[in-house]
């Protein structure tokens, strides 16, 4: 019974009958630039990639080597100009790599789909896959590099020049962290192939199966995938970040440890570019333990995570509902009652008010760090459950969900401000969807906004007698289920008893026959 009541309560919480509160996050202090190990970095909002968030940048326009983060540009060009289902044959040049190269694991003559090769290029950073892709798209790596520079110019990457398709070191192959933020913003939010790009770079593990053998691929971005433990090193540092969505790592001796990372929370996409995490220690490969190496190797991912956590906390502002109302949040709406009497003084127009809890804290993601509450647009989305008279004053007739940046931040009841009796002539009018000003009629349940993000901010007005109408229904359902269970149990017991009686009679008959046979055998 306790379990059933717990399930019922959970259901009531889920549908919003019982209000809940979410703790608001405190505004972050200023970010310490010196805490970042990498000498070249920038943090931007994907919507404004040329401007650092809160000034979090260092040497953002200094020329640097991009290493394998180059493949972000190679990937978006291949997506925009190629067909993912094309089959690509791997040339001898594509597999002409020595030790120390990151590879997908291709062999000359292999044929794989362009889709599989893109995963092979972006997850384990396969240089072999990058060459095969470039030759397929442009005929040669040189021709593909021309496409790369043309695309960079188109995007406004004014401090970049590309020579290789994979990012292996070349003195004439360079960029800046600001240019890479511009490129990544385009790939994630503006390209016609942004969906496919996001899917590839956001994948932790993938199996390429379109070729002569299956190849298991693990993403080198440790914000998405932990490195597998080994017998010699069973406990590598976990750098997983719940809001990470990509994008690409890079690592060469001249470039150092590089990372272009992206994270998304409440429809806000942030990009962190960190380059040049170099290490001048000759004993790294000979004298360092695996644990010490891992602390160094994990640093770029930890720095990116710290940047993202700062930004999301800084954007998250807490206000009371009364402050939102004072800032212009709409609390009165109008709905038409189609069966109102002909002599209704308001011609069938009913004003409804949002049931406000003035002291309730509400969290809002303020994308612009300099924005004020007066500049925030809060959109009311109305759902009516009653638009036909008779309607009484103070009766709950629906709910309003207030949305900001696509997220529901506050939800409460709509209360009738007067009584409307039913008119003499009533008609079956198909309810119409209302707009935020209440000019229409009823919104069906299917149009109720989804609950996500900061939707935990519920008005305490939810919980009036009208809202608790679900409780008796839920209890009836529970009662029916219990009755059905009891009935099935009784039927089972009766059937079992009947079976046992038949079995007892059968055994008694067998014993009688045995005694009779025994008598005649004597």
Cβ pair 355, 415 in contact under 8 A? yes
| 125 a catalytic residue | yes
Q: How far is CA 522 from CA 83, 150, 357, 512, 516, in A?
A: 94, 112, 97, 16, 10
- Both tokens of 133, joined, read 């892709």
User: What are the residue ranges of helices labelled H in 317-443?
Assistant: 321-326
Q: What's phi and psi for 479, nearest 5 deg? A: -60, -45
394 Cβ partners below 8 Å, 6+ apart? 415, 416
| 113 a catalytic residue | no
- Given the residues 52, 68, 74, 363, select the one marked as catalytic: 68
Q: What's phi and psi for 44, nearest 5 deg? A: -135, 155
Task: Return d(Cα 383, Cα 443) in angstroms, integer.
Answer: 5
* H or E element in which residue 516 lies: helix 470-521
Task: Return d(Cα 304, Cα 224) in angstroms, integer.
Answer: 12
Q: How far is CA 252 from CA 57, 173, 366, in A?
A: 22, 13, 38
- Given the residues 71, 147, 248, 265, select the one marked as catalytic: 71
Q: Which long-range contacts (CB under 8 A, 24 or more apart) does 12-18 make?
A: 12/470, 12/471, 12/474, 15/470, 16/399, 16/411, 16/451, 16/458, 16/462, 17/462, 17/463, 17/467, 17/468, 17/470, 17/471, 18/462, 18/463
- Given the residues 52, 113, 125, 191, select the one marked as catalytic: 125
| 193 a catalytic residue | no
Catalytic residues: 68, 71, 125
């Amino acid at each position: 019974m306790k379990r059933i009541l717990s399930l019922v309560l959970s259901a009531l919480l889920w549908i919003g009958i019982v209000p809940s509160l979410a703790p608001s996050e405190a505004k972050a202090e200023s970010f310490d630039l010196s805490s970042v190990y990498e000498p070249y970095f920038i943090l931007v909002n994907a919507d404004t990639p040329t401007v650092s968030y809160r000034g979090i940048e260092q040497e953002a326009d200094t020329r640097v080597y991009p290493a394998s983060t180059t493949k972000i540009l190679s990937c978006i060009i291949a997506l925009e100009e190629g067909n993912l289902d094309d089959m690509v044959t791997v040339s001898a040049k594509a597999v002409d790599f020595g030790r120390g190269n990151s590879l997908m694991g291709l062999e000359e003559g292999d044929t794989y789909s362009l889709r599989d090769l893109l995963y092979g290029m972006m997850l384990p950073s396969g240089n072999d896959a990058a060459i095969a892709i470039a030759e397929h798209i442009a005929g040669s790596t040189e021709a593909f590099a021309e496409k790369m520079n043309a695309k960079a110019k188109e995007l406004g990457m004014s401090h970049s020049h590309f020579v290789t398709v994979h990012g292996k070191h070349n003195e004439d192959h360079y960029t800046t962290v600001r240019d890479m933020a511009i490129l990544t913003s385009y790939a994630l939010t503006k390209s016609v192939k942004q969906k496919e790009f996001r899917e590839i770079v956001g994948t932790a593990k993938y199996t390429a199966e379109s070729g002569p053998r299956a190849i298991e691929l693990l993403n080198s971005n440790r914000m998405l995938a932990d490195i597998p433990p080994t017998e010699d090193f069973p406990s590598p540092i976990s750098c997983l970040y719940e809001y990470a969505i990509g994008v690409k790592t890079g690592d060469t001796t001249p470039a150092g440890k590089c990372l272009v990372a992206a994270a998304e929370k409440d429809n806000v996409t942030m990009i962190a570019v960190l380059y040049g995490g170099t290490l001048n220690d000759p004993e790294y490969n000979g004298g360092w333990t695996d644990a010490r190496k891992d602390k160094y190797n994990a640093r770029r991912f930890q720095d990116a995570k710290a940047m993202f956590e700062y930004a999301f906390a800084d954007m998250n502002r807490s206000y009371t509902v009364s402050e939102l109302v004072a800032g212009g949040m709409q609390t009165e709406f109008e709905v038409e009652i189609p069966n109102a009497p002909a002599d209704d003084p308001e011609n069938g127009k009913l004003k409804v008010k949002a049931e406000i809890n003035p002291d309730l804290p509400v969290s809002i993601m303020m994308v612009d760090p300099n924005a004020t509450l007066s500049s925030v647009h809060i959109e009311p989305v109305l759902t009516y459950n009653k638009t036909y008279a008779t309607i009484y004053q103070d009766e709950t007739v629906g709910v309003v969900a207030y949305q900001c940046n696509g997220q529901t931040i506050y939800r409460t009841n709509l209360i009738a401000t007067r009584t409307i009796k039913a008119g003499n002539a009533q008609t079956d009018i198909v309810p119409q969807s209302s707009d935020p000003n209440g000019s229409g009629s009823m919104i069906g349940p299917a149009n109720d906004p989804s609950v996500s993000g900061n939707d935990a901010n519920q008005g305490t007005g939810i919980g009036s007698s009208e809202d608790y109408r679900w409780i008796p229904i839920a209890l009836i359902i529970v009662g029916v289920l219990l009755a059905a269970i009891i009935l099935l149990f009784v039927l089972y017991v009766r059937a079992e008893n009947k079976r046992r009686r038949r079995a007892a009679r059968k055994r008694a008959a067998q014993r009688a026959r045995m005694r009779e046979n025994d008598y005649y055998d004597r």
